[in-house]
Structures are given as structure tokens and as C-alpha cells.
């Protein structure tokens, strides 16, 4: 149970735990070992949403109370920063974690988690041979962002319900998590409270404005304009090599940011030996989001940390972000491409 609360701190079960606890929000702002842990972990939660590239598995989850309360605190942090895009990315990050946690859990606990989450989100199901029957109203609530015929009611409805496999239920739960996290955000907090949190929110704000300044307007994707790191990742995938999690994130988010459609991105991964259509689809869609900008590709320093900055060239010396590289190259590229005979004659 405690592990469940720590893994899924946005559930009503976790909310009840927080309510029943003697720990108060204010107490986390006073000095002390426990409040330090909480604050650090909550900053980590938001940082992960900003950069999006810290794999969930790297995070220690041994202290369940830290998990639960740092979630509460992270909500306060993003509320004080109060940027719509960040709030959305924060919800995405929690949903991605939920998805990973469910996929990585061993079979018995996974089943237990799934049933608890379904109950927590008030989605009554009947289960038979790992097939879940869900009322259609719940189904349409959580599939709006999912693409593909397998998610359309018109292909599934059977006497008021739809039947889903376990993997699909996990995807639906991840979406339910995203909406649950999103609901109520930004919290209405007093100016005084945000003031007290400002030592933590200021650096986060800074980091966020850095990544968002790298946003590029979408247009046709020009592969030649991609920086060497991205080109290298592309050729690795083409050669049938598996990418590490951070590399995969870097490539997907970069392509999404420059305006590539989810379908096209999924197709790029099709040649990977561990290609799992549903998983890839899910990851790509969530990284991409509705706008293609829900997550921002990692910057050069992060790329370097994970050993993904390779074959950097002359232009690389003048940029700190692969997207800037692309923007510069793309402009130049456009200049060369423009057909002089296309103008008025």
C-alpha cells in the first residue's frame, strides 16, 4: 500500500494520507532533514518536467513519504511559476512515470496497481482473461489524445462498453493520471508562500525560460539542417541499433520540436530491433503532445552528459542547443534553396 502511494501520489488514496498526516505544508519550509529531502525531490520532479530527459528509473523511491509530499510540493512549485506550458509538461512527466512504473512492475503488483488505480479514478471495469471491459464514457474521456483506429469508439463499442487489453488499459490510466495531475493547477497560493518558495522556483523558472526560448516554428522538416548529434542518432536507428533512453528522448523531442508528425517519428523507429509499436507510439505521442512542443529537446550540455554530442562541427561552437543549430542551418538552407525563377517576372 505504501509503495502504491509513493508510486502514484496523485491518487485520492494518497490525498487522504496527506490529509491524515500531522505534517503541514508550512513545516516543509522550515529547516530540517526531512523538509530538505522533500524540497529537493520536488525540485527534481519539476526539473525532470523541464528537461524531460531524466529517466524515471534513476530516481530512488525508497522513502515513500518523500515521494508523497514532494508531489504536493511540486504542485506548489509549478503553481508559483505559473507557466501553462510548464504545468502541462509537468503533468506529462508524471503520466510518463506512471506509465513506466506500471510497465516495469512485476506481474502481480502491476495487476494490483491497475485495479487500485481504476478504482481510484472511478472507472468500474469487469475483467476476464486479462481483457478489461470499460464503459464507453470512461473510454472516450481518456483517449482523446491517442491516435489510431484502435482507439476510436466506432471500432470498439459493443453494448455500451469497450474491451481493452492490459497494455491499453495502462495507456488509458496514464492519460487519467495526466488529467488528474492537471486538474486544479495552478493552485491558488498566497503571494507570501510563493515568496518563501522563490529560492527554489527562481532557478526552475530560469531553466524553463532557457529551454522554451529554443522553440522553433514548425515548417517542413529539413533533415540536412539537423545538427551532427541528431544525424548520428538517426543513422544509428537506421542501422538497427537500439538507442538508450536519453538518446531516444533527445531524438524524438527534437524531431517533434521541428515539426515532424507523430506518425513519421514512429516510422523512424520501426527498424529498431526492440520496436514495440504501442510503446513507441505512446512515447512519441506524449513527448510530442498536441503542439509538438510539450517537451523541449535537451540542450548541448545535457547531450554531452549522456555522450550524445558527437561529431560536433564548426557551427556547434556557436550554439548551446541543437535546435538553435537547426534554426541557423535551416535559414541558410532556405536561402540556397530558394528558386530565383519563382518570384514575380
Residues that bind another protein (CB under 8 A): 135-138, 140-141, 143-144, 149, 152-161, 163
- Between 167 and 259, name the residue whose CB sits nearer to another protein: 167
Q: How far is CA 271 from the centre of its chain?
A: 23
**Least Cβ distance, residue 254 to ligand SF4 (angstroms):** 9
CA distance 334 to 262: 24
* Whole-number CA gyration radius for the chain: 22
What is the helix (H) or strand (E) element at residue 5, kind and residue range?
helix 2-7
| Residue of 29, 312, 328, 329 interacting with ligand SF4 (CB under 6 A) | 312
Q: Is 227 in the site for ligand SF4 (CB under 6 A)?
A: yes
The interface partner of residue 245, options being ligand SF4, another protein, none and the CB cut-off 5 to 8 Å by kind, is none
Who's near 112: CB < 8 A, 6+ residues apart?
Answer: 4
The sign of the dihedral angle between the CA atoms of 145, 59, 302, 205 is positive
In the complex, the smallest distance separating the C-beta of residue 267 from ligand SF4, rounded to whole angstroms, is: 23
CB of 30 to another protein, least distance (A): 38
C-beta of 173 vs 233, nearer to another protein: 173
Residue closer to another protein (CB basis): 155 or 242: 155
Q: How far is the CB of 164 from another protein (least distance, A)?
A: 12
Is the separation of the CB atoms in 136 and 207 below 8 Å? no
Question: Interface with ligand SF4 by CB under 6 A: which range of 110-118, 161-169, 223-231, 257-265?
Answer: 223-231
Binding residues for ligand SF4 restricted to 319-338, rule: CB under 6 A: 319, 322, 325
Pick one of 7, 229, 237, 256: the residue that binds ligand SF4 (CB under 6 A): 229
CA distance 95 to 180: 9
Q: Which of another protein, ligand SF4, none lies near 149, with the C-beta cut-off 5 to 8 A by kind?
A: another protein
Site for ligand SF4 in 244-303 (CB under 6 A): 300, 303
- Residue 70 burial (C-beta neighbours within 10 Å; 0-12, 13-18, 19+): buried
Residue whose C-alpha is closest to residue 304's, from 225, 237, 229, 235: 229
| Closest CB to ligand SF4 among residues 278, 304 | 304
Cβ neighbours around 27 below 10 Å, total: 13
Amino acid at each position: 500500500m505504501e509503495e502504491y502511494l509513493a508510486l502514484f501520489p496523485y491518487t485520492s488514496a494518497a490525498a487522504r494520507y496527506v490529509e491524515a498526516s500531522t505534517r503541514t505544508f508550512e513545516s516543509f519550509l522550515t529547516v530540517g532533514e526531512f523538509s530538505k529531502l522533500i524540497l529537493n525531490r520536488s525540485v527534481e520532479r519539476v526539473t525532470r518536467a523541464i528537461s524531460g530527459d531524466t529517466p524515471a528509473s534513476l530516481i530512488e523511491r525508497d522513502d515513500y513519504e518523500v515521494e508523497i509530499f514532494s508531489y504536493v510540493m511540486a504542485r506548489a512549485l509549478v503553481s508559483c511559476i505559473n507557466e501553462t506550458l510548464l504545468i502541462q509538461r509537468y503533468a506529462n512527466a508524471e503520466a510518463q512515470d506512471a506509465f513506466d512504473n506500471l510497465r516495469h512492475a512485476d506481474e502481480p503488483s502491476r495487476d494490483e496497481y491497475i485495479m487500485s488505480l481504476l478504482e481510484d479514478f472511478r472507472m468500474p471495469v469487469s475483467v476476464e482473461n486479462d481483457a478489461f471491459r470499460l464503459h464507453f464514457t470512461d473510454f472516450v474521456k481518456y483517449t482523446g489524445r491517442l491516435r489510431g483506429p484502435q482507439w476510436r469508439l466506432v471500432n470498439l463499442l459493443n453494448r455500451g462498453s469497450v474491451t481493452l487489453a492490459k497494455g491499453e488499459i495502462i495507456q488509458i490510466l496514464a492519460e487519467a493520471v495526466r488529467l488528474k495531475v492537471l486538474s486544479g493547477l495552478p493552485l491558488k497560493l498566497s503571494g507570501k508562500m510563493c515568496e518563501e518558495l522563490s529560492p527554489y522556483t527562481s532557478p526552475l523558472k530560469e531553466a524553463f525560460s532557457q529551454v522554451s526560448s529554443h522553440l522553433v516554428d514548425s515548417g517542413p522538416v529539413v533533415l540536412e539542417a539537423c545538427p551532427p548529434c541528431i544525424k548520428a542518432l538517426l543513422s544509428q536507428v537506421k542501422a538497427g541499433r537500439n538507442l538508450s533512453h536519453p538518446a531516444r528522448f533527445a531524438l524524438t523531442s527534437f524531431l517533434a520540436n521541428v515539426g515532424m508528425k507523430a506518425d513519421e517519428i514512429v516510422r523512424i523507429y520501426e527498424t529498431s530491433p526492440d520496436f514495440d509499436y504501442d510503446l513507441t507510439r505512446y512515447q512519441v505521442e506524449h513527448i510530442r503532445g498536441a503542439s509538438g512542443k510539450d517537451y523541449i529537446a535537451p540542450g548541448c550540455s545535457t547531450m554531452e552528459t549522456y555522450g550524445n554530442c558527437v561529431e560536433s562541427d564548426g557551427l556547434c561552437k556557436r550554439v548551446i542547443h541543437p535546435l538553435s543549430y537547426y534554426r541557423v542551418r535551416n535559414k541558410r538552407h532556405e536561402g540556397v534553396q530558394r528558386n530565383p525563377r519563382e518570384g514575380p517576372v
